Every structure is written in C-alpha cells, then in structure tokens.
Structure 1
C-alpha cells in the first residue's frame, strides 16, 4: 500500500490496497479526528467495482474509533467536498480518480470541504505506521446512516454558482462522456438544467469502465470525438473516474489540449495583481497569460495536495488566487470552492462559449501554439526507480538548459522544456515535454526517455 502520495492513497485492490489497509487508514484518520473533537464524518465513492467493499471497510474503521458515518453512496469527489463544507464534517472519498479499473484509493477531506493539508496527512500517517490507534468500547462505536440526495444538492450548488441564464440563451449542444464514472450520476442532469441540449456516451455507471479507461486523455476519447461530429455538438466534455476533472473536444471533434483550456479559462478569470497557482509542468501558455494580465504565477510540485496547500498559504497572506490547477483538466476556482470540479470547470467553459461569437475551437485558438508530449516509463522495484532518477539527474546536469528541481527535473531551453519525475500514484516515471513543433517536443522527450529507458538494473 502506498501511503498518501500526491493525491491520497492508491493501489491495485487486494494487492497494494486491501480492505484491511482501508480499515487501518480509516482508523488512523478517525483517531486524529476524534482527538480534535470530531465524532462524525462522510464517506462516498466513485463507481469502481471494488468501491462498495472498501466503503464498508473504511466505515467499519471509522466506527471502531467512535466516528458516526454518513454514507453518501456514489457521488463525484467535489460532491463529497460540497457535503463536507455544508455539514461541517470531514470526509473520506473512496476513489482512484483516473487510474485503471483494478485500482482504488482514498482521499481525505476536511470539515471545510478542502483536501487535508500535508501536515494533517503526516499526522495520520504517523498514527497508521505506529499502529497507535485505540478502539472504543462496544457501546461507544459509531453509527452508520445512509444519506440520500447528496448528488442532487451538489448539482443545485453548481447551478447557483454559474451564469445559468447566459448558458441557456446560448442554446448549446453538449456531448458528455462521464466515462462510466461518478459524473454519470450528476453531470447529465446538471447540463440539462443549465439549458443545454445534452447527448451522452459512456454515461452508465459501471466500475469496469467498459467504454473507455477512466483517464480522459486524447487516446481514450476517440468515441467522444466521433460522437461530437455525429451529433453536431458545440462542445464535448469528458470526466475522469471521480469527475473532478474536465477535458474538452471542440465542435470539429478535435481534442482540446488541457493546457490550452486552462489558459483560456484563466485569461477570462484573472485580474492584474491576482495570483495563479499551477504545478511545475505548467505550460508556457499559462506563463504568457499570467504575464499579459499582470498576474503572478507560482509553481508547486505536481499533485492537487500541493496546489491546494499553496492556495491556502497565499490566501492566508491576503493574496487573491483566482485560478489554480494543471493541464490535465483538474482546475480550481477558489472563489467558488478550493476543489477540483469537473462539472463546474465545464460550465465555466460553456460561459466562455456563451459570451463569444465563435466556437470552442475559436475560444482556444490563441492558446494552441505549443505541442505537448507525455511518456511513461514503468518500473517494478524501488531500486529501479532510484536508478532511473539517477540517470535523469546525470542527463539534466549535463544539459545546457535552465534546471528547475521543484519536483523532479525540468529543463527549460527557451523554445521548449522537458520534465521528468516519478508519479505519486503509479509505479512509473513520467516525462513531459512542450515545444512549438511536434518534432521539437518529441526530441526533448526523447532526451530524457532515452536516459531512463537505457537503464538496466540487476
């Protein structure tokens, strides 16, 4: 079991992550919460086949240390966060987000609806590793109750937070692909109530994800691209497994780069003096948008936990953080909620369409100047990972580029950049590259890919 990577606990179920592991995480979490005087928490899940089993395990773990459990059933992660904020209770989400069907995991949310900061996760991890959890006597164990309607209330909150009238007047046709995940139970209703004409594909909740893999990357969205063209839709929207991300397809059925969408949404939301928060793999598009607006851009290690922590730190000093997020579709608008929310992000994109005289392709055209490449190199053992990182470091130190080691090794060449770092959720080293041409981006990716792929470890 991997304990609290960049986006919570994740692993292959009954291999890296067992029901016993889930119970132990819940008990350690509950022990920290009860020490703070908390006696109630919410638990939700995405649609994964192992979700109900793990919800049972974590609910038992929480109850065993005296926590009452509100069981919300299947809702998107931002739906759990909305419930936690509304009810002032912490939450535990059983999800592996974009990972394949055999994975599952746990995300932890505070009573303010925001992911737990690193220091709280570290306190829980200490309890977990030290096995310093005291179960309560039988008469003090927590109760468990089913809560209906959390998804409907979440949709109501979304509708109140966007320009519903403007979107309805635009008479948009939206092709929606929730990928059989948690967005299947909320996003179709949300976009219909926004006044859109909604066409759906892969919208049946199914934890085996028969239509496509949960990660909404270009290679997995061929069906949606064809569906947009077949239905003459104005916009295609795809979610990951827990619907905290949104990726778009334009009216021609062409994949919209996540970095281009982030840049367009940021440009529409920021003012001079604002701060934008992104990860170290931020696109030059975002750098340019922030500079043009007179806003600051601050970079963090990759992962929503780091971005959320930076937002809270900046807000504590009085800074205005208008937009945050990454080019993978995980975008936050802190004025609404400090949470990645795929449905809300997609509605903000619909607002852009409603205010423009053009199409989705027109909205992102000015941010479409760069080509992105991503490659993953798998490893089996930790010593292989370390050998790969050593090889990357040697290649980085030998290069003539500007080096940033905020998270991994980012080499900036002026006309493009390449970044290599170990994933926080999977046994892979990820390589990202960006340049103004596909050939240059491929060459940059090859530079570090060849260094890693050439490693041979006994």
Structure 2
C-alpha cells in the first residue's frame, strides 16, 4: 500500500524546509519518512531533466553529528526504492562527495546540519553538474511522492537494510590538492589542526603532511561541536591564541562540521575572516572575476585585483548563479566565495602546467591551502599577508533563538516608508555610534551605509531561528564594537504593533 504526499505539504507539516544550503530542520522533525520523501522528490525532479534513471548511482555522505547515520540510511532506502544504486561515501566533507558525484556524472547528497547545533540536521542535494539552485528547490517542493508502507507510527523505517560496500571519495579529493600544489608546498611550516568534530579533520592532517608540512593535532572531540566560521565562539578564540603562543605554530587550520567552510588562524592565533580568505585565495590563483554575497568585505572592490566583482544574495545558490553568468560573459577564470569562507571554483586553473579542476560547490580546503602556500612563497606571516589588502574589517555575530518571524517584522519596520524616512529612522537608532545613515541596500536583508564609512547589515538566517548581524569598519576593534552595539539594540528593540 502506498500513500501519496505533497512535498509542499510535508514541508509545512514537518517544518523541514529549504534554507540557504539544502533542507534543514529539527532532528525530531526529520523522521525517516520525511527524509525518504525528500530524497524521492529530489530524484523525481532529476529524472525530469535527464539526470537520474533506474540503475544509476547516487552518492551519499554525512557529517559526524549523532543523527546523521540514521538519516543517511533513510536516504539510501529512498534511492533504492527509486531504482537507484547507492555510492556510500561514508563520513567525508560535503565538497568531497560533491566532487565524487561530479566526476562520475551522478547525483549526490550530503546529510549535514553544517555549523548549527546537533539538535538539528539537514540534507544538501547536488545535481550531476552542481548544487541544486533555487529553481531546482522550487521543482522539488512541487513534487508529490508515493510513499511505500515502510514506516512505523513514528515515521521511522521498520526494517533497516545493511549498508552498501563503502566507496572511497576521500582519496581523489586529497589528490586534487597534492597534484596542484605539489609535495613541498607547505615544507618548513608547522601547522595546528583544530579537529573538534569536523568530518574533514583527518583529511586536513593528511593534506598538511602530504604537502610537506608538520601537522599538530589539536582539540579532537567525540561530541559534536557546532563551530560557526562566521561567529567563532569565544572559547575557540581563546584556544587558538593559547595554542599559537605555546606551540609556535605558523597557523591553525580548521573547518565547520561538514568541512565546507574554512577556519584559518594566523601565527598569533587570530582567526582570519572568511571573506578575507576569499580575496587572498582568488589572488593566489590569479582569478579574474569574482561573485560574492553582499555581506562580504568591500576590500574585494577596493583592492583593484579583479576585472569584475558581482554582489549577490547570501547563499551558495545565488553565488553559483552569478558565477555562471560571469562565465557566460566570457571571463576566463571565475570564482565565488562567501563570508563563511566557503570557496567555489567555477573554472579550472592552470599554474606552471598543473591544473586544478573546477569545483563549483563550497569548499574549505582550497582557501586554506592557497593562503598558506602564498604566505610561504612570499616569505611572510599570515598577518602580514592580510595587511597587504585595503584596511577594511568585518565582524559577524547572531542573536540565537530569535524567531524568523520576529526578524522579518523588524526588517519590515526598519525599511518602511520613503528612503528619506528610512534613513532618518536608522540614523536615530544607530547614530550614537556611527552618525547619520546615508544609504541602504536591500539585496538580502537590510544593509545600512553610514557617512563615516561604517556598515551595519541585519539579516534573518535562512536555516535557523537566528538574526545575523554583519558589520564593517576601518579597524577590527571598531567592527566588533559596532556589531555588539547593533545586536544589543536589536535585542531590546520593540517593533511597534508587536507583542
């Protein structure tokens, strides 16, 4: 007996919906039935565009949060139900399973909640030729799925099938960087690897050693730690400073949970901003055109390093769309990066006869290695390398457990009315620190420009009940103070007409 269900209805019922990086929700809501249905809908959509048919393989992988193995099993059951074969890549980074899928011309999916706490999880879907984009998400949402009678009253699979023989996606992912950078690219460097619960922690160590560096393992954890590369925890800031001081490290390497967002600390233990890594990585690779979200550091334009810079909404699907447009316009080498540091390579890169193939999905390894290799080649520290860019500094933090509806009501109120009234309202709210507001940008959320050069950007999170705040100023201390001040104002601000 089968039951037909609309994915749109299931999203409403379960609360598991598409955000900026796949479908995410509470683990309690991500039952086997929900995950099975979403996977079937994904494959049904791909079948309509010729990217899936019975007998074709689909790659799956996952991060290290406790709920991931169960969800992977539900996704695998859905693939088999749709007549597909399962390439079980195990627990590897999101970009590794994506690269495996692209190389084999098969779809792939990654079970991960990325940087968010482990009471939540998600599924990130990839087409055979790249991440699913917003039109694909709409098509998946429009599907209806005939669910077989495989689930108990709690929406869990009654019978778990044995896992397939494992497929190795890690070796090719590691070789990608060894082949391009060379076996001595990091020689003489001593690098700490903050492992915590990142799924790519062993791959990072393997890469450092394969490229000639010395890896020092730090902070490995059997408990999932929600490391957010845009809002590094004070504990992680203190750990990095201590490790750098005590161990004499050239840098400290880390990633978020599914290892598609980088963290790189300089020789003092100061974590570098992801959007700075993006600029430095693009410079090292000699890329000519860049797509990046509106929230990223304006040093990318001020540097004069690139022939074209396109600003987008926040989220890799929007960055990919802009990258594709730049490629279509004839720019020979194109990339994208996000404020979280994830780097997307739209075109292949060739250096001294070595070719780095395109990987148009968020990756943590490339920006980390590129910046380290460039610093070593120039004979400078990471802090000195960063100082070569225009003096613009960003900071990002968020209000957690801040309902999305509340965030949306705040933004709607702040941007209500003619622009002259909006600027007056924003000047009154934030003027004590930044003076008069002289411009706004509504590309994604509300980005406020001030006459003194400060920027405050408020945006509801796309995948969690959080309000993000991005700030930019001419020194890091001021950017941090501006961020703290802005969040405190927002936290206490009462939108007229709300309870």
TM-score by length of 2: 0.81
What do the CA deviations read for 1:404-426 (whole angstroms, capped 9, x no partner)?
A: 11111111225121111111111
2:82 is matched with: 65
Selected match of 1:98 from 82, 107, 115: 115
Q: Which runs of 4+ in 1 moved over 6 A?
A: none
1:444 positional shift: 7.0
Match of 2:442 among 402, 405, 409: 405
Equivalent in the alignment of 2:386? 364
Shift in Å at residue 88 of structure 1?
1.2
Deviation at 1:312, TM superposition (A): 1.8
Mapped to 2, the partners of 1:396 and 1:56 lie a distance apart of 50
Q: Is the 8 A contact 2:191 2:213 kept in 1?
A: yes
* 1:223-262 paired onto structure 2 within 5 Å: 223-262=239-278
Please state if 1:293 is matched with 2:305. Answer: yes
Counterpart-to-counterpart distance in 2, 1:154 and 1:403: 41
**Which residues of 2 match residues 306-321 of structure 1 at below 5 A?**
306-321=318-333
**TM-score normalised over the length of structure 1:** 0.88
C-alpha change, 1:319 and 1:451, in structure 2 (3 Å) is same
CA 432–106 in structure 1, closer or farther in 2 if over 3 Å, else same: same
Deviation at residue 383 of structure 1 after TM alignment: 4.1
For residues 105-144 of structure 1, the aligned pairs below 5 Å read 105-112=122-129, 114-127=130-143, 131-133=144-146
In the alignment, is the contact (CA less than 8 A) between 1:260 and 1:368 conserved in 2? no
- The answer (yes or no) to whether the contact 1:387–1:455 under 8 Å persists in 2 is no
Q: Given the superposition, is the C-alpha separation of residues 377 and 124 from structure 1 closer, same or farther in structure 2, using an over 3 Å criterion?
A: same
- Counterpart-to-counterpart distance in 2, 1:63 and 1:143: 12
- Which residue is equivalent to 2:290? 276
Residues 1:194 and 2:233 are matched in the alignment: no
Determine which of 1, 16, 33 is the counterpart of 1:2.
16
Tell me which residue corresponds to 2:7.
none
Distance in 1, Cα, partners of 2:138 & 2:176: 32
SS at match of 1:306: helix
Quote the offset at 1:57 in angstroms: 0.9
1:154 corresponds to? 173
Q: 2:492, 2:324 → 1: CA distance?
A: 38
Q: Aligned partners of 2:402, 2:238: CA distance in 1, in Å?
A: 30
Q: 2:400, 2:193 → 1: CA distance?
A: 32
Supply the distance in 1 between the matched residues of 2:306 and 2:108 (Cα, whole angstroms): 37
Q: Which residue of 1 aligns with 2:466?
A: 428
In 2, are the aligned partners of 1:178 and 1:240 still within 8 Å (CA)? Answer: no
Give, in whole Å, the separation in 1 of the partners of 2:195 and 2:98: 19
Which of 21, 31, 56 is the equivalent residue of 2:44? 31
Change (3 A) 1:117 1:93: same
Question: After the TM superposition, which of the residue ranges 147-156 and 44-53 deviates more from structure 2?
Answer: 147-156
Q: Report the RMSD for the aligned CA atoms in angstroms.
A: 2.6
Task: Give the match for residue 139 of structure 1.
Answer: none
- Partners of 1:360 and 1:390 in 2: how far apart? 41
The C-alpha deviation readout for 1:27-77, integer Å capped at 9, x for no partner, is 111222334243321110011111100001111122222222111110000
In structure 1, distance between residues paired with 2:409 and 2:331: 41
Q: Which moved more, 1:49-58 or 1:280-289?
A: 280-289
What's the counterpart of residue 344 of structure 1? 366
Q: Is the 8 A contact 2:62 2:112 kept in 1?
A: yes
